Amino acid sequence: MENSTHPIQQLSELAEVLLQKLKATQTDITLEFDDVQLQGPGPQGQPGQWRLNGKVSLTSKSNGQKGA
């Protein structure tokens, strides 16, 4: 999925892509969310609705050590 821009339908797909990219020696990942709504834990453990709008950027760089 290198430089993929196709929509991800499941959270497991997102996790797979992130792990593959972060294993690279150097990578930049930008995730863009446009009015994404999720159900998750809310106050005092009650079900809650989360909304995501905007960007999340992740950067991975090699420290030059193998296996570290």
**Mean per-residue pLDDT, 5-24:** 76
DSSP string, the chain: -TT--SPP-SHHHHHHHHHHHHTSSEEEEEEEEEEEEEEEE-GGG-EEEEEEEEEEEEEEE--S-TT-
Residue 15 to residue 27: CA distance in whole angstroms: 15
Encode pLDDT of 16-59 as tens digits.
887 777 777 777 878 888 888 888 888 888 888 888 899 988 77
- The pTM assigned to this predicted structure is 0.47
CB atoms within 10 A of CB 34: 7
